[in-house]
Amino acid sequence: MQRVLMADERKPTDGLDATTRAEYRERLRRHLQDPAFRAVAGFPVGDDEAMLAMSAPPYYTACPNPFLAEFVRRVGRPYDPDEPYYREPFAVDVSVGKTDALYRAHGYHTKVPHLAIVPSLLHYTEPGDLVLDGFCGSGMTGVAAQWCGTAPEAYRREVEAQFRAEGRPAPRWGARRAILNDLSPAATFIAANYNLPFDVDEFAQAARQLLDEVNAELGWMYETRHTDGRSGRIEYTVWSEVFTCPQCSGDVVFHDEALDEASKRVREEFPCPHCGARLTKDRLHRVLESLADSATGQMWRRVKFVPVLISYRVGPAKYEKGPDREDLDLLERIRSLSLPEEIPTSRFPIEQMSHGSRIAPKGFTHVHHFFLPRAAQALAVLWRKADAQADTRIRHMLLFFVEQAIWGMSVLNRYSTTHFSQVNLAQTGVYYVPSQSSEVSPWYILQGKLERLYSAFREVADSGSIVAITTSDCSSISIPDRCIDYIFTDPPFGENIYYADLNFLVESWHRVVTDAQPEAIVDRAKQKGLPEYQRLMQRCFEEYFRVLKPGRWLTVVFHNSRNSVWNAIQEGMLAAGFVVADVRTMDKQQGSYRQVTSTAVKQDLVISSYKPSARFEERFRLEAGTAEGAWDFVRQHLAQLKPVVLKGDVIETMAERQPYLLFDRMVAFHIQRGATVPLSAAEFYLGLRQRFVERDGMVFLPDQVPAYDAARLNASRVDQLTLFVSNEKSSLQWLRQLLDPATGGKPQTYQEIQPQFLRQLHQARHEQLPELSLMLEQNFLDDDGGRWYVPDPNQASDLERLRQGALLREFAGFVQSRGRLRQFRSEAMRAGFADAYRRGDYATIVRLAERLPESVLQEDPDLLMYYDHASLRVG
């Protein structure tokens, strides 16, 4: 976010005088010359000059930022264990603000809008606090941090009303400080330009001048003749791939044959213009033409394109035409020009790219291959002129502006007959060279963008805040321990988007590219599976744990592509020491947040976790492995949770307060810290009831009860959780809810329960689910009328002991058996793993885990946790 300066306070916009800036540059240069500084994993690939040119030290470096510790010393507040701090978990709606002009000022492969982040910052932090995002991408967390200080009045009133309605204290406005980190220089360059101050008027003037100069130099390349002889101005030229007919081998220009003129859509089937054979795109044969590649000095074979349509203007009127002789001569003339030196000619790491197989067979292996001759000339001149600016901030902003035309002016820009504009139509998240592309002119793509950028950045007043940006692996950010007040982060989510590969195209222009080695993704081409992803994520979470102040929060937003990926994230987070306090998803229909009680959801998740307070960790170290330690954990965990969640006049059941989840959290907390779990499930449930207060199936600290009871008096009802019943564990949860009057249920007979149960059940493939009757017998009691009811705590504890015995006998059967275990009772496996872990028999866990289908292990958080820790111990 940029500060707009009044005319009388021009420059320096970053508060540094020229000498200080030069000193920082010199210091950065010296760092770059130090081999030890460059030796860290994740250090971008590029030479010193390129890295210096991209950086604006001390606030931004296109490599690990050596000035971060200084920054923290200057703007941070040291950790003070006596400073009172208390917050409850808070959910974020990541869909908010996607149309905001500032959000849209620069694209990135995925983005969380700053307006979605602002409420979280207001909730968890105070003005001046220091926030961190280690996977910052385009830097929206920084924009949000500043927005807390610059938000307009109307927005403030809106948020204040929302906070009031949710019973929260009023937000305290004022900018927060931020540290932003990403592995990719392309990302941090965007983040830096979004977040470092610049003079917006000076930028707009320079950008307009840039476009004018390019026009003066290259305008002739975009001229065409109208039917009446007047000169027209080309906005875009459509290029079509040429195939051959499999029947007669005649050339088939895809655009000419496949496009239906009337509907303006590509037809599924169309006739060959030569032999009339029925053709589809799949049946066509690809044609590779041979071209001379002046950059590599070799012959270059790539798919054949021909220009088929020119869209142009004469004055304000728009026209279309097929290219005529003059147009073709012009294109030929441009083709004969030599490749400008600004055009990167580096080869893509095709063999290590999942999308390599999409581009290499079509002949696209080097960066310059993606630009047709005219686009190459135009982009080169844009880049050259932008890069020639003397003032670093204006130069960076101009490059930030020009960068946005790189994808859009390449052959990746699809031609769409259904879009009014042909700007930025490249397929997102992938390198896909379409059969029809629009080659747009620089002014067509950039003119409107400039005006939008100008007005978006003008809106933002000076926040007085400071953001520092660094380019490094999130697992090693060079800042001191315990200095961060809050972390908001949106990590890569497994396998969907290959950021380093995608950023290669833009980074090559800067001559500084990502070191993809520590990139936290699942990518077969780079030999990174889910376990590697989990390890990389865990290291990043460990770093987060190190730098976060104790008692503070971490919000992770996660686009849930696969359950196994979510489990990997969760396991990484827990193993690093965080405690999950809330997992939610946005219910778009209801416009409210839903708790996630199983991982079988394919939506955006918001995970709120905290780093336990230093005092608690200290106590826990002394009492770890004792019952008192376990109860202490439960106490501090309950204290982190809201006493009541209200939706209108309905109370929402909180999964985190339910005994079964508290047990899971207690177990995980011990295992993650290498402590023995001191209580069995039976002892835990019994002890829980003796020590805490239960209301509506939820557990409370005594001092939380009055608030809950007061809300309960006014509430119309308590909403139960929607459970996804797929295995024995979730079946039992569901049955408890059904039979327990405390959760709105009532005792029922087998005949009554069975049909309801079958309607709920979506049995997982690997689950050998016990009969319903056995589940009832092992966990519930029946009265004289044959109605099953939830036993009282003492009886429940007896039953649980018996059940554990039965489960362990079953587990012993697994141990005795041979071969793969494709179907098994997962509760028996869990009980067996827990028991083996308690006895220190890690080898049994590892042996059995290796006999399970990999997907089961990855999708079951309990089994995964035991396996991970056991395999660490077995080595």
Ligand X SMILES: C[S@@+](CC[C@H](N)C(=O)[O-])C[C@H]1O[C@@H](n2cnc3c(N)ncnc32)[C@H](O)[C@@H]1O
Interface ranges with ligand X (CB under 6 A): 108, 110-112, 134-135, 137-138, 140, 181-184, 187, 473-474, 490-492, 499, 518-520, 536, 540
* Residue closer to ligand X (CB basis): 106 or 362: 106
Nearest approach, Cβ of residue 359 and ligand X (Å)? 20
- Check residue 512 and report its DSSP letter: E
**Number of residue whose CB is nearest ligand X:** 137
**Would you say 496 and 542 are in contact if contact means Cβ atoms under 8 Å apart?**
no
Instruction: Report the alpha-carbon distance of residue 699 to residue 418 in Å, rounded.
Output: 56
Residue 407 CB, nearest distance to ligand X (Å)?
16
Nearer to ligand X, 110 or 389 (CB): 110
Asked if 365 and 342 count as a contact pair (C-beta separation under 8 A), the reply is no
Phi, psi (5° rounding) for residue 687?
-65, -35
State in angstroms the smallest separation of the CB of 55 from ligand X.
Answer: 17
Give the list of residues 6+ apart from residue 171 with CB closer than 8 angstroms, or none.
119, 122, 123, 159, 160, 163
C-beta of 75 vs 112, nearer to ligand X: 112
Q: Nearest CA to 284 among 301, 272, 267, 275?
A: 272
* C-beta closer to ligand X: residue 258 or 353: 353
183 vs 514: CA distance, rounded Å: 6
For residue 188, count other CB atoms closer than 10 A to its CB.
30
Element (H, E) at 579: strand 579-587
Which residue, 110 or 561, has its beta carbon nearer to ligand X? 110
Q: How far is the CB of 506 from ligand X (least distance, A)?
A: 12
Which is closer to ligand X, CB of 381 or CB of 474?
474
C-beta closer to ligand X: residue 499 or 684: 499
43 or 364: CB nearest ligand X: 43
Q: How do 484-489 and 130-133 pair as beta strands?
A: parallel
Dihedral sign from CA coordinates of 740, 746, 748, 753: negative
Closest CB 631 distance from ligand X, rounded Å: 38
650-652 and 717-719 beta bridge pairing: parallel
Q: Which is nearer to ligand X, 44 or 66 (CB)?
A: 44
Given the complex with ligand X, which of 284 and 479 has the nearer CB atom?
479
Burial 516-548 (b: 16+ CB within 10 A, else e): bebbbbbbebbebebbbbbbbbbbbbbbbbbbb
Q: Cβ 736 to ligand X, closest distance in Å? A: 38
Q: Say how far residue 530 (Cα) sits from the centre of its chain.
A: 16
Least Cα distance to 655 among 606, 603, 698 occurs for 698
Question: Closer CB to ligand X, residue 98 or residue 615?
Answer: 98
Q: Pick the closer one to ligand X by CB: 447 or 517.
A: 517
Least distance (Å) from ligand X to the CB of residue 873? Answer: 26
Name which of 496 and 592 has its Cβ closer to ligand X: 496
* Least spacing, CB of residue 108 vs ligand X, in Å: 4
Give the SS3 label for residue 525: helix
Q: What is the CA radius of gyration of the chain?
A: 31
Q: How far is the CB of 225 from ligand X (least distance, A)?
A: 44
CB of 291 to ligand X, least distance (A): 33
Do the Cβ atoms of 391 and 318 come closer than 8 Å? no
Task: Give the residue carrying structure tokens 């063999």.
Answer: 351
Q: What angle do CA 612, 130, 169 make, to 5 degrees?
A: 70
What is the secondary structure of 654-694 as a DSSP string? PGGGSHHHHHHHHHHHHHHTTPPP---HHHHHHHHHHHSEE
Minimum CB distance to ligand X smaller for 66 or for 137: 137
Residue 45 C-beta: closest distance to ligand X, Å: 14
Q: Alpha-carbon distance 875 to 868, whole Å?
A: 10
Cα separation, 486 vs 586, in Å, equals 22
Determine whether 358 is exposed, middle or buried from the number of CB atoms within 10 Å of its CB (0-12, 13-18, 19+): middle
Smallest distance from ligand X to CB 188, Å = 9
The b-or-e profile of 257-268 (16+ CB within 10 A means b, else e) is bbbeeeeeebee
CB of 644 to ligand X, least distance (A): 32
Least distance from C-beta 252 to ligand X, angstroms? 40
Query: Shortest gap between Cβ of 537 and ligand X (angstroms)?
Result: 8
Q: How far is the CB of 24 from ligand X (least distance, A)?
A: 23
Compute how many other C-beta atoms are within 10 angstroms of the C-beta atom of residue 461.
15
Containing 810, the helix (H) or strand (E) segment is helix 793-816
CB closer to ligand X, 134 vs 629: 134
Single-letter residue type at 327: D
DSSP per-residue letters across 133-144: ETT-TTTHHHHH
| Secondary structure (3-state) at 191 | helix
Which residue, 467 or 682, is less far from ligand X as judged by CB?
467
Query: What is the smallest separation between the CB atom of 636 and ligand X, expressed in angstroms?
Result: 31
Q: Which distant-in-sequence residues (6+ apart) come within 8 Å of 114 by Cβ?
A: 97, 100, 102, 103, 140, 141, 143, 144, 147
Least distance in Å: CB of 341 to ligand X?
A: 28
Residue 38 vs residues 48, 71, 141, 187: alpha-carbon distances, Å: 10, 21, 27, 19
Specify burial of residue 839 (Cβ count, 10 A radius: 0-12, 13-18, 19+).
exposed
Cβ proximity to ligand X, 58 vs 97, nearer residue: 97
CB of 110 or CB of 754, closer to ligand X: 110
